[in-house]
Amino acid sequence: MSDPVLQVRGLRVEYATSSGPAQAVEDVSFDLDQGEFLAIVGESGCGKSTLLFAIAQLLTYPANLAGGSVHFEGVDLTTLSAEELRQRRWRDMSVVMQSAMNALNPTLTIGAQLADACRAHTDWDDARIAERSAQVLAMVAIDAVHLRSYPFQLSGGMRQRAMIAMAMLLEPKLVIMDEPTSALDVVAQRSLMKQVETLRQRLGFAVLFVTHDMSVVAHYSDRLAVMYAGEIVEIGPTREIFHQPQHPYSVGLMEAFPSLQGDLRPLTGIAGTPPSLVNPPEGCLFAPRCPHANDECRTVRPALVSYPDRQVRCHLVARSRKP
Ligand code: SF4
């Protein structure tokens, strides 16, 4: 078995606020294997996008890395200089942002933007750059004629696919995606996800994918990490968690998600709101919303415990399962 491409250990991110530091990401640890697709899911504000930014070392004030390490191919990214990080981005690790319209430069053609990325990281001549640019656009089913198009001349789905083409330019080992389908209709979403999956199978890169919409990743991710209030509360194989979620928050998420198979069932939401991250509750962060909360839950913060098929952060699960 080869070494993981990414090892995240004890990662903590705080936001400076007028009321004091808010714990946006708290003690997050996981490995990502080469070629693996890990989806990070949770409701808005749970810290999933902040976690991706911390891994890619793209945090800016008021967010700050408060602890932990991010080893990418054995090198701790948190110890690298800005220049060392710049050299690794695109070449070894690329990032696809939520909105291509914001990530792409509106004043440059798609071809010029692909060429910029090539020139910053390779010594390719113009012919090689043009050839590679056409190649990566073809990978996402965009005709090379659009190398001359500006972002506003493309549909939302095409812009997002152009971003994925840019991410593929230098064949990175890891592609980090922050809700890349959130602005697309369901048909464009499905088409984009199928293309990402085809490219992953062909090129073998690992994917770290953040979404609040579990239907997007249900069929494509190998593993699922469920985040709540900055913590991972359950992580394991996607199929296992979809079929038998164990953390009460994961159970709530699944019940809020329509199934395409089996009998129709009413969808239920999760009552209540996430806790304050400036003054978080003493015990389990989900206790104020959890139908199973008891005195232990309200006073003792549960640890993420490893079981044969997954890891779960819950006293109730710990009482009924053997690690
Ligand atoms: Fe619910 Fe207690 Fe488990 Fe937290 S530790 S999720 S409050 S049962």
Would you kindly state where each structural domain of the chain is located, as residue ranges?
6-92+172-268, 102-171
Q: How confident is the model at residue 1 (pLDDT cuts 50, 70, 90)?
A: low
Report which of 135, 128, 200 is spatially closest to residue 166, judged by C-alpha positions. Answer: 135
Query: Alpha-carbon distance 276 to 257, whole Å?
Result: 25
Residues of the chain with pLDDT > 90, as a percent, come to 73
Query: Alpha-carbon distance 306 to 309, whole Å?
Result: 8
Q: How confident is the model at residue 100 (pLDDT cuts 50, 70, 90)?
A: low
Query: Alpha-carbon distance 168 to 27, whole Å?
Result: 31
Would the pLDDT of 163 be above 60? yes
Between 157 and 99, whose confidence is greater?
157
Q: Is the CB of 293 under 6 A from ligand 1?
A: yes
**From the alpha carbon of 247, which atom of ligand 1 is closest?**
6
Residues of the chain with pLDDT > 70, as a percent, come to 96
pLDDT single digits (tens) 31-62: 999 999 999 999 888 999 999 999 999 999 99
Average pLDDT of 7-11? 98
Query: Pocket of ligand 1, candidates 297, 313, 319, 321: which has the most ligand atoms within 8 Å of its Cβ, to mutate?
Result: 297
Q: How confident is the model at residue 182 (pLDDT cuts 50, 70, 90)?
A: confident
pLDDT single digits (tens) 58-96: 999 999 999 999 999 999 999 999 999 998 888 899 999
pLDDT computed for residue 263 by the predictor? 67
Q: Is the CB of 229 under 6 A from ligand 1?
A: no
Cα–ligand 1 centroid distance for 297 (angstroms): 6
pLDDT computed for residue 102 by the predictor? 72
pLDDT computed for residue 262 by the predictor? 63
Do the Cβ atoms of 247 and 234 come closer than 8 Å?
A: yes
pLDDT computed for residue 156 by the predictor? 86
Average pLDDT of 97-122? 88
* DSSP tag of 237: E
Between 189 and 224, whose confidence is greater?
224
Q: How confident is the model at residue 266 (pLDDT cuts 50, 70, 90)?
A: low
**From the alpha carbon of 287, which atom of ligand 1 is closest?**
7
pLDDT computed for residue 179 by the predictor? 87
Query: Alpha-carbon distance 186 to 176, whole Å?
Result: 21
Assigned CATH topology for domain 6-92+172-268: Rossmann fold (3.40.50)
pLDDT computed for residue 10 by the predictor? 97
Ramachandran angles phi, psi of 43, nearest 5°: -75, 170
Total residues found in the chain within this entry: 323
Would the pLDDT of 109 be above 90? yes
CB-CB neighbours of 6 under 10 Å: 23
| Residues 6 or more apart in contact with residue 76 via CB below 8 angstroms | 69, 70
Q: How confident is the model at residue 234 (pLDDT cuts 50, 70, 90)?
A: very high
pLDDT computed for residue 45 by the predictor? 86
Query: Alpha-carbon distance 3 to 142, whole Å?
Result: 35
Largest CA distance in the chain: 68
Average pLDDT of 298-308? 96
pLDDT computed for residue 101 by the predictor? 67
What's the Cα-to-Cα distance from 37 to each of 162, 210, 219, 233, 311, rounded to whole Å? 20, 11, 11, 18, 17
Average pLDDT of 296-315? 97
Q: What is the DSSP string of 117-148?
A: HHHHH----HHHHHHHHHHHHHHTT--GGGGG
Average pLDDT score over the chain: 92
Cα–ligand 1 centroid distance for 281 (angstroms): 12
